Amino acid sequence: MKKTIKYGNAIANDYRLIGVGCIVLSDFCISVGTSNIVGGYAFKAIDYNAETRELTLADGTDMDKFQVDYHAYLAGGSDDDNSPHEVTIIGVDPETRKLTLASDLVMTGAGISPDSPAIGAIRDASREATAFSSGDFNLITGEYSTGGGTLNVESGLGNRVHGVMNRLTGNMSDIDGSNNIGDGDNLSIKGNNNKLIGMTGNIAGFSNTGIGDNLSLNGALNDFQNCSHVTVNGFSNHGSNCNIIHVSGALNTITADYTQTHGYRLKNHAKWGIMFGRDAELENSPENEGAFVVGGGEINNPRRAFEVRSRRKIVNPLYNPANDPDGDGIDDAGEKQYLNQLGFFTRYPGHLLSSCNIQTVNNDSGTVLNVPLDHDFYGRWKITPTGSGQITFNCDNWEDGDFGILTVYAGAGKVSWPAAWKFITVTMPLIGELGGPPDMSASGYVFIIMFKHDNDIFCLPAITSAGGVDI
Q: How confident is the model at residue 461 (pLDDT cuts 50, 70, 90)?
A: confident
Q: Which of 107, 55, 105, 101 is nearest to 82 (CA)?
A: 107
Give the lowest-confidence range in 48-62, 68-82, 291-305, 394-408: 68-82
Q: What is the pLDDT of residue 151?
A: 93
**pLDDT tier at 16, thresholds 50, 70, 90:** low
**Residue 467 reports pLDDT greater than 80:** no
How large is the average pLDDT for residues 202-211? 98
pLDDT at 44: 94
Length, in residues, of the chain: 471
Q: 184 near 172, Cβ under 8 Å?
A: no
Q: Judge whether 295 and 307 are in contact, CB under 8 Å.
A: no
Q: Say whether pLDDT at 253 is over 80.
A: yes
The residue type found at 271 is K
- C-alpha span between 369 and 353 (Å, rounded): 28
CA distances from 90 to 42, 48, 69, 93 (A): 19, 15, 6, 11
**What are the tens digits of pLDDT across the range 85-134?**
999 999 999 999 999 999 998 888 778 888 889 999 999 999 999 999 99
Pairing relationship of beta strands 456-459 and 445-453 according to DSSP bridges = antiparallel
How much is the mean pLDDT over the chain?
Answer: 92
| Residue 455 reports pLDDT greater than 60 | yes
Predicted local confidence at residue 20, as pLDDT: 86
pLDDT, tens digit, for every residue of 331-361? Answer: 999 999 999 999 999 999 999 999 999 999 9
Q: What is the mean pLDDT of residues 440-446?
A: 86
Residue 158: half-sphere exposure toward Cβ, Cα within 13 Å:
8
Q: What is the share, in percent, of the chain residues with pLDDT greater than 70? A: 95
For residues 26 and 32, give the distance between their C-alpha atoms in angstroms, rounded to a whole number: 15
Question: Mean of the pLDDT values across residues 390-395?
Answer: 96
| Contact between residue 15 and residue 7 where contact means Cβ atoms under 8 Å apart | yes
Question: CA 462 to CA 468: how far, in whole Å?
Answer: 9
Q: How far is CA 208 from the centre of its chain?
A: 13
For the chain, give me the number of helices (H) and strands (E)? 0, 39
Distance CA 222, CA 231 (A): 11
CA dist 167 → 73, 109, 193, 385 (Å): 15, 15, 11, 78
Q: Using one digit for the tens of pLDDT, what is the confidence trace for 138-164?
A: 999 999 999 999 999 999 999 999 999
pLDDT in tens, 263-322: 999 999 999 999 999 999 999 999 999 999 999 999 999 999 999 999 999 999 999 999
pLDDT > 70? residue 12: no
Task: Please give the pLDDT value at position 440.
Answer: 81
Question: 364 forms bridges with which residues in the sheet?
Answer: none
Note the pLDDT of residue 471.
57
Write down the pLDDT at residue 15.
46
CB 458 within 8 A of CB 450: yes
pLDDT above 70 (res 17): no
pTM reported for the whole predicted model: 0.85
Confidence category of residue 210, pLDDT binned at 50, 70, 90: very high
Banded model confidence at residue 3, pLDDT cuts 50, 70, 90: very low
Q: How confident is the model at residue 5 (pLDDT cuts 50, 70, 90)?
A: very low
pLDDT at 36 over 50: yes
- pLDDT band at 80, cuts 50/70/90? confident
Q: State the Rg of the chain over Cα.
A: 38
d(CA 303, CA 301): 6
pLDDT of residue 53: 94
Per-residue pLDDT at 228: 97
Report pLDDT for 468. 74
pLDDT at 69 over 70: yes
Q: Is 446 exposed, middle or buried (0-12, 13-18, 19+ CB in 10 A)?
A: buried
Distance of alpha carbon 456 from alpha carbon 304, whole angstroms: 37
Per-residue pLDDT band at 248 (split at 50, 70, 90): very high
Pairing of β 37-38 and β 23-24: parallel
